[in-house]
Structure 1
Amino acid sequence: MPAGKRPRVMFVTSDHVKQALERWAEDEDKTVSSLLDELIKEVLVQKGYLEPPKKLLSQSHHKN
């Protein structure tokens, strides 16, 4: 696969689900694709199919 290209996955849904996803993505200032990518990753981590992301160094320090 060429550099910068990510695999694509297509799914079929109803019009009302598509419209709801578009509204939600707009509210989050994201594309539907990026919103779904985040949701799917979260579920895959919860189900044990993906390792949780490593915390950033800045997140591991306590603020005073």
Structure 2
Amino acid sequence: MSLFGVLTVVFVVLKLTGVISWSWLLVLLPLLPVIIMQIISMIFIHQASRKIKKSSSKW
């Protein structure tokens, strides 16, 4: 589990136990970098697969 995952779990536990009174947006904020990296990776893989398909169709 990454640092962002650990932070998210810690913040959720603290929120559910009432130790912190942050909004859920702030509690789940550590997930944002992970989600952004996954979206960027998916776009990159999609573009690479399209390029491979185009180059293989020329044969």
Give the TM bin, normalised by the shorter chain: 0.3 to 0.5
Structure ranking higher on relative contact order (CA contacts 8 Å, 6+ apart): 2
Which structure's residues are more often helix, by fraction?
2
TM-score of the pair, normalised by structure 1: 0.34
TM-score of the pair, normalised by structure 2: 0.36
